[in-house]
Amino acid sequence: MNPKAYLEEKRRLVNEALERFLPSPRRRPRRLHQAMRYSCFAGGKRLRPILAINSFELTGGEGERILPAACGLELIHTYSLIHDDLPCMDDDDLRRGKPTLHRAFDQGLALLAGDALHALAFELLASSGSLKVVVEVSQAIGSQGIIGGQVADVEAEGVKIPPREVKYIHTHKTAALFRASLRIGAILGGGSEEELGCLSKYGERLGLLFQIVDDILDVEGERERLGKPVGSDQRRGKATYPSVWGMEESKGEAKRLARLAKREVEKMGPRAGFLHWLPEFILTRRG
Amino acid sequence: MNPKAYLEEKRRLVNEALERFLPSPRRRPRRLHQAMRYSCFAGGKRLRPILAINSFELTGGEGERILPAACGLELIHTYSLIHDDLPCMDDDDLRRGKPTLHRAFDQGLALLAGDALHALAFELLASSGSLKVVVEVSQAIGSQGIIGGQVADVEAEGVKIPPREVKYIHTHKTAALFRASLRIGAILGGGSEEELGCLSKYGERLGLLFQIVDDILDVEGERERLGKPVGSDQRRGKATYPSVWGMEESKGEAKRLARLAKREVEKMGPRAGFLHWLPEFILTRRG
C-alpha cells in the first residue's frame, strides 16, 4: 500500500478505536468526559499509535490486538499537551487551530482531564496483556523521560544553554515516546532483540527529527497550516534547535537524522517500507 | 502485635521503600526529584500502602513482594494531593503544616512533579507482576473514580446539593482508592473471591468513614494537629457531610460506617484483627 494511504487508513482505525475506548460524553461526570474528548478529537496526526501499529505488524503481529496499547500512547500524548498548554506551563491559547482545553473549559477541568487521560492510558496499556508494555511507557513519560525534558525545557527559557542541552530536552520531551511507541509494537508483535534494537534507534532519531522540524516550522511555517501562531518559541525565549544551533545547522541536522533513521530500518528490508518513507515525509511537512 | 505498633512498623517499612523507589535528588532533573521527595516525605500516614500490606498478609501473602505496589498507591495519593492543592483547584497554601508544593517550588514544577509521581506509580504497580493490579488502580483513580469525585467536588462548590451527591463525591474522591488498596493486597496475596468481596466492602466503608471524619475535623479539629487552617471547607462553600447532613447526623453516619466495616471483617476471624481495630482508630483521630 502507498504510505500516505496507509497513514490515512491507520489514522481512521485509531480514531474509531479511541471513540470506543473513551468514556461516553453522556456518562457522568459529563463535562469531564466532554473535555477528554474535546482534546482527543482535536485533529491529532496519531503518529505515535501508527508507529506502534506498524512496528507490531512488521515484527509479525496480526489483527487488532495492538489497538488498546496504541490508543494508550495517543492518550498519553494528549494528556501531556493539555498540561503543557496550561497557564503555569506554556500558557497557550491555541492548539491545532482550536482553543486549548483550559480556554474552552477551565483550568481545573483541563488539569483533571489530563490526569484522567493519563490514568485511562495505563488501563489500556495494561489491557495489552503485557507488563513490559506498561513499564516501557511509564519510564518513557516519567522524570527520566518526557517530564524530565519538560522540566529542562522550562528551566532553559530565557537562558543561554549549550547545544547538547537542547538535544537533551528534545530527546526526553519528544523522542522518548516515539521510541517507546515503536518498542511497544515490537514487544507485542514478538520481535527479536535485534529488531527491538533497530526500532528503538529508529524511534529516537525520528523523534528528534520530528521535534527539530517542529522548531523550524515555528520560525518558518504558516500560521494556518500549523493551527497556532508562528514565532511563539522565540517570543518566549525557548531553547530550540534554530535558536541554539542556527537555522542552517538545524536543517542539516534534520536531514542527517532522516538519513540515519532510514539507514536503521534498511536492515529490515522491504517490510519496513513505511518506516523508510516516513522520515522524508516528516522532513518536508508544513504543519 | 499491638495495632498501633503494627501501624508504626509498617509506616517505617513504607518510608524506607519509598526512599529506595524515588529517584535520587542528586540525579537530574534535580529540582523535579527534590519536589517529588518534598511531597512524598511531608509526613503522610501511609494508610493506603499499609492497608495493601495488611490485606496481602491476611490473605496469605508472604515477604515484601507487596512493597512496590503498596508504594505505588502512596505515590498516587501524593500526586492527587499535589494537583488538588494547585491554585486552579483548591488553592491551598499549607498541607500537613508545611507549604504546599507549588508554594515551596512553583506551579509548573508542582504540576510536573505530580505527573511524574503518577507515571512512577504505574511503573511500581507493574513491577508487582500483576496486570490486574495495574487495571484496578487505573480504574480507581480515573474518570469513574478519584477524578470523577474531584470534578463533582469542584462543581458542588457554593451550590446546594442533595445528600446522596456528597456521598457520590466522597465515595469516588476517597473511598475508591481505599478499596483498591485492600483489593490489590488480596490479589497479590492470593485471596479467594469471598475474601476479595469482604475486603472491597470494608475498603468502601473505611474510605467513606475516613472522609467524613476529615470533614468533621475541618469544623471541630485543632489547627496544629491538622497542619492546616480549620474551617477551610466552609469558607470555600465545599460540599461536606456536616454542611449537607448536619453535624450530629454526620457523626452518627461515621459511627454506623465504623460498625459496618468491623462487621465485614469479623467474618475473617482473628487474623483480621488490625482491620477490625482500624475503624475505631479513624473515628477517634484528631489530625
Report how far residue A12's alpha carbon sits from residue A30's, in angstroms, rounded to the nearest whole number: 25
**Would you call A143 and B36 a contact, using CB atoms and an 8 Å cutoff?**
yes
Size of the A and B interface in Cβ pairs below 8 Å: 139
Q: For residue B223, what pLDDT band results from cuts at 50, 70 and 90?
A: confident
- A119-133, A227-241, B132-146, B233-247 — which is least confidently predicted? A227-241
Q: Smallest Cβ distance to B88: which of A108, A122, A154? A: A108
Q: From first to last of the 287 residues of chain A, give the pLDDT tens digit.
A: 799 999 999 999 999 999 999 999 999 999 999 999 999 999 999 999 999 999 999 999 999 999 999 999 999 999 999 999 999 999 999 998 899 999 999 999 999 999 999 999 999 999 999 999 999 999 999 999 999 999 999 999 999 999 999 999 999 999 999 999 999 999 999 999 999 999 999 999 999 999 999 999 999 988 777 777 788 888 888 999 999 999 999 999 999 999 999 999 999 999 999 999 999 999 998 77
**Would you call B123 and A144 a contact, using CB atoms and an 8 Å cutoff?**
no
Report how far residue A9's alpha carbon sits from residue A188's, in angstroms, rounded to the nearest whole number: 21
Among residues A239, A241, A275, A240, which one has the least CA distance to residue A258? A275
**Would you call B154 and A108 a contact, using CB atoms and an 8 Å cutoff?**
yes
Place of cell 501508527: A50
Q: What is the pLDDT of residues B31-81, one digit of tens each?
A: 999 999 999 999 999 999 999 999 999 999 999 999 999 999 999 999 999
- B92-106, B217-231, B250-264 — which is least confidently predicted? B217-231
Angle (CA) B142-A19-B180 rounded to 5° is 20
The grid coordinates listed for B275 are: 482491620
B interface test, pick of A31, A32, A157, A184 with most B CB neighbours within 10 Å: A32
Three-class DSSP labels, A24-41: CCCCCCHHHHHHHHHHHC
Return the residue of A nearest to B135 by Cα: A123
Give me the amino acid identity at A26. Answer: R
Mean pLDDT score of chain A: 95
Q: Using an 8 Å Cβ cutoff, are A128 and A210 in contact?
A: no
Q: What is the pLDDT of residues B254-268, one digit of tens each?
A: 999 999 999 999 999
**Would you call A138 and B147 a contact, using CB atoms and an 8 Å cutoff?**
no
**What three-state secondary structure class fits A46?**
coil
Q: For residue B226, what pLDDT band results from cuts at 50, 70 and 90?
A: confident
Angle (CA) A285-A180-A86 rounded to 5° is 65
Q: What is the pLDDT of residues B161-204, one digit of tens each?
A: 999 999 999 999 999 999 999 999 999 999 999 999 999 999 99
**Would you call A116 and B155 a contact, using CB atoms and an 8 Å cutoff?**
no
Q: Which domains does chain A have, with CATH numbers?
A: 3-283 (1.10.600.10)
Report how far residue B215's alpha carbon sits from residue B212's, in angstroms, rounded to the nearest whole number: 5
Q: What are phi and psi of A95, to 5 degrees?
A: -145, 125
Query: What local confidence, expressed as pLDDT, does residue B121 receive?
Result: 98
Alpha helices, DSSP H, located in chain A: 3-21, 30-40, 47-58, 67-85, 101-104, 107-126, 131-141, 146-155, 163-170, 176-189, 193-220, 223-226, 232-236, 241-245, 247-266, 273-283
Please state the pTM of the whole predicted model.
0.97
Query: What local confidence, expressed as pLDDT, does residue B225 receive?
Result: 75
Polymer length in residues for chain A? 287
Residue B118 above 90 pLDDT? yes
Among residues B145, B166, B181, which one has the least CA distance to residue B69? B181
